[in-house]
Amino acid sequence: MTVITRFAPSPTGHLHVGNIRAALHNWLFAQKSGGQFLLRLDDTDLERSRPEYADAIRADLQWLGLTWDAEAKQSERFALYESRFAALHAAGHVYPAYETQQELELRRKVLLGRGLPPVYDRGALSLTPEQIAAYEAEGRQPHWRFKLDHDQPIVWTDLIRGEQRFDPKLLSDPVIRRADGSWLYMLPSVIDDIDMGITHVLRGEDHVSNTATQIQMFTALGAPLPAFAHEALLTGAEGKLSKRLGSLGVAHFRELGLEPMAIASLLARLGSSQSVEPFVDMAPLIDSFDFAHFGRAPARFDEAELAGLNQKIVHLLPYDAVAARLPDGMDATAWDAIRPNLETVAGAADWWRIVTGPIDTPAPEAEDCDFLASAHRILTDAPFDAAIWRTLTEALKGETGRKGKTLFLPLRRALTGLDHGPDMSLLLPLIGREEALRRLQA
């Protein structure tokens, strides 16, 4: 069996961190299994779906390195849904219902007030032809529900949650089609999963009850069930579900200058028993991906952890991987010198300006003026090679008796304008003799 997974976002907005995690895990499992990863745009909501959102979804996945083997759009598959719907109707698996939204909400409130589960009572099934005619004379058009089989308990073994069991009598017959003829999520998703040969459906635990009803749809359509895996939802750093997680997407992460592999390294293992580590390519994440590592405890997403992971990854990146994003003139030697002080690759530009100048330097302390004049004199005559920093500081130490902070800090301030930064033994050769002399004199 060829493993086939899918990521099926609705192009009604931008991907958020939860969507990204679902896409990543489906992609990782397909890659590890030597299978296929499909992108399906669930755009049955023609009013809210937008081409620009679809384009943004594709761009986000590509930036993250998640390539797909095929793409489909539900808006181009309506004829298939009609034919499957007709077959279900003929077999008695779907039925029309005429209640308004207000009527349904009132019934729901009454049941809740009585301490009962708000399950639809199947009132539509007992309508007489005269009642239906009266509704239609009012101009009511029916919505359509899938009729659950109350005699068959719904049981499956979830790849993450283990055995799952639902009593269909405690579930409402799901609405699958609106009165205007438009489709809701439930049935088209099942039809597509069957038609596309999806073998594994991996999604959030908020879909568990959807899966229960969709399992009966697979059965009614005479199709084998895919394997299901439902992941714990992400929580915020404060330890509870956070609305902010719904607004964190690729655009936000890119604005922060984060690496795609930082996001992948964190989200690939978030919620699992495996430790989160900085990786510079997907191979280790693919090799180690296993549903058995994931548990039911909420997965905590922390932006501070992501930033720290990104910094570690930046420190591992070779020059060739970042050269196209570095300032003009910055070579491999400069990257190696500056890289340990970076939080993002974009930060290299700030340090390169320190190297190339001009810079603003604070006025030296009075007791440091003669010391810097001595540094200027020594630097003028010393051989300017890779060991120039050691040569300069050893000579100054011998002349002035200074050591430690009193030796190094005035030099760093004069040469960079800062108290901290990259190793001066690597930075000074990049600054060059003439610019260094100018700064010392200034």
pLDDT of residue 110: 95
Same domain, 398 and 255: no
Percent with pLDDT over 90 in the chain: 94
Task: Classify residue 103 as exposed, middle or buried by CB count within 10 Å of its CB (0-12, 13-18, 19+).
Answer: exposed
Q: Provide the strand spans (E) within 292-417.
A: 299-300
397 is in an annotated binding site: no
Same domain, 297 and 258: yes
CA distance 196 to 208: 21
The string of pLDDT tens digits covering residues 110-169 is: 999 999 999 999 999 999 999 999 999 999 999 999 999 999 999 999 999 999 999 999
The string of pLDDT tens digits covering residues 256-297 is: 999 999 999 999 999 999 999 999 999 999 999 999 999 999
Q: Which of 127, 119, 75 is nearest to 98 (CA)?
A: 127
294 SS3 class: strand
Joined together, the tokens standing for residue 272 give: 């699992």
- When pLDDT is cut at 50, 70 and 90, the band that residue 237 belongs to is confident
| CATH code of the domain in which 28 resides | 3.40.50.620
Same domain, 198 and 130: no
pLDDT of 219 above 90: yes
Distance of CA 162 to the CA centre of its chain: 25
Same domain, 335 and 377: no
Residue 303 lies in a domain: yes
Domain hosting residue 306, numbered range: 243-314
Joined together, the tokens standing for residue 412 give: 């760093």
Residue 222 lies in a domain: yes
The string of pLDDT tens digits covering residues 357-394 is: 999 888 899 999 999 999 999 999 999 999 999 999 99
Same domain, 221 and 274: no
pLDDT of residue 1: 85
pLDDT of residue 245: 81
Same domain, 168 and 84: yes
Peptide bond preceding 364 in cis form (omega within 30 of 0) = no
Bridge partners, 228 (sequence order): 201
Residue 306 lies in a domain: yes
Residue 73 lies in a domain: no
Give the chain's domain count. Answer: 5
The string of pLDDT tens digits covering residues 191-205 is: 999 999 999 999 999
Question: Cα dist. 209→171, 230, 291, 368, 379 in Å?
Answer: 8, 11, 20, 73, 74
Same domain, 91 and 109: yes
Residue 301 lies in a domain: yes
Same domain, 116 and 87: yes
Residue 361 lies in a domain: no
For all residues of the chain together, what is the average pLDDT?
95
What pTM did the predictor assign?
0.92
Amino acid, single-letter form, for residue 117: P
